[in-house]
Amino acid sequence: MSPADLPAELEQLHAAAFGWALSCCGWDRSAAEDVLQASYLKLLDGRARFEGRSSLRTFVFGVIARTAREVRRRAALRRWIPLASLLLGPEAVDGRPDPATAAVGADETARLVRALGRLSARQRQVLHLVFYEDLTIAEAAVIAGVSLGTARTHYERGKAALKRLLEEESE
């Protein structure tokens, strides 16, 4: 794939990438937009270069996950060093579901978002990649940066916890 083809390829992945950014940012919409913009910049500037070792989708999702982690780290640093905000830019991710986002929309999806917000970040990521993005657990492991066994554990435990939380929510 040539660099000239990248924008068109990214456009095809855009909806899925936005969903993934939302999950990485705990359904905080503005944070997800910031993370997605920063990720696209990395990809279009060539700071994150696709070398064909995985599918483009897996690669792009990995870049988004890393960018979300960086933004979270920067937010944590900003809390400790107030002057760092000049160098690091405006704060974006708080890592928790945006209550307004959770409240808006269909009741069932709102319940799902609330329940996902109560899972650990890794469990939420793996479940999102498998159920929302229709990826395999192996692909989810690559994107989340964990081993296949760890991803399987997160998947099973996360699924059980999510079902329990959804049942609690519906009671």
Partner 1 sequence: MIERDEHLKQAFAALRREDAAGSPSFQATVAAARARRAGVPRRRALGLAAGVVVAVIAVVVASTWRTQKSERLEIDLATVRWQGPTDFLLKLPGIELLRSVPQLGLRGLDRRIL
Give me the residues that bind partner 1 (CB under 8 A), please: 7, 10-11, 14-15, 18-19, 22, 29, 33, 36-38, 40-41, 44-45, 83, 86-87, 89, 105-106, 108-109, 112-113, 128, 131-132, 159, 162-163, 166
For partner 1, the closer of residues 4 and 86 by Cβ is 86
For partner 1, the closer of residues 29 and 157 by Cβ is 29
For partner 1, the closer of residues 44 and 53 by Cβ is 44
Size (the chain), residues: 171
Closest CA to 144 of 132, 163, 129: 129
Contact between 81 and 74 under an 8 Å Cβ cutoff? The reply is: no
- In angstroms, how far is the first alpha carbon of the chain from the final one? 51
For partner 1, the closer of residues 53 and 67 by Cβ is 67
Give the list of residues 6+ apart from residue 96 with CB closer than 8 angstroms, or none: 26, 28, 117
Shortest CB 84 distance to partner 1, Å: 8
Shortest CB 61 distance to partner 1, Å: 14
Shortest CB 7 distance to partner 1, Å: 7
Contact between 96 and 23 under an 8 Å Cβ cutoff? The reply is: no
Shortest CB 34 distance to partner 1, Å: 8
For partner 1, the closer of residues 32 and 141 by Cβ is 32
Shortest CB 108 distance to partner 1, Å: 6
Give the list of residues 6+ apart from residue 117 with CB closer than 8 angstroms, or none: 26, 27, 96, 97, 102, 124
Closest CA to 48 of 70, 33, 77, 27: 70
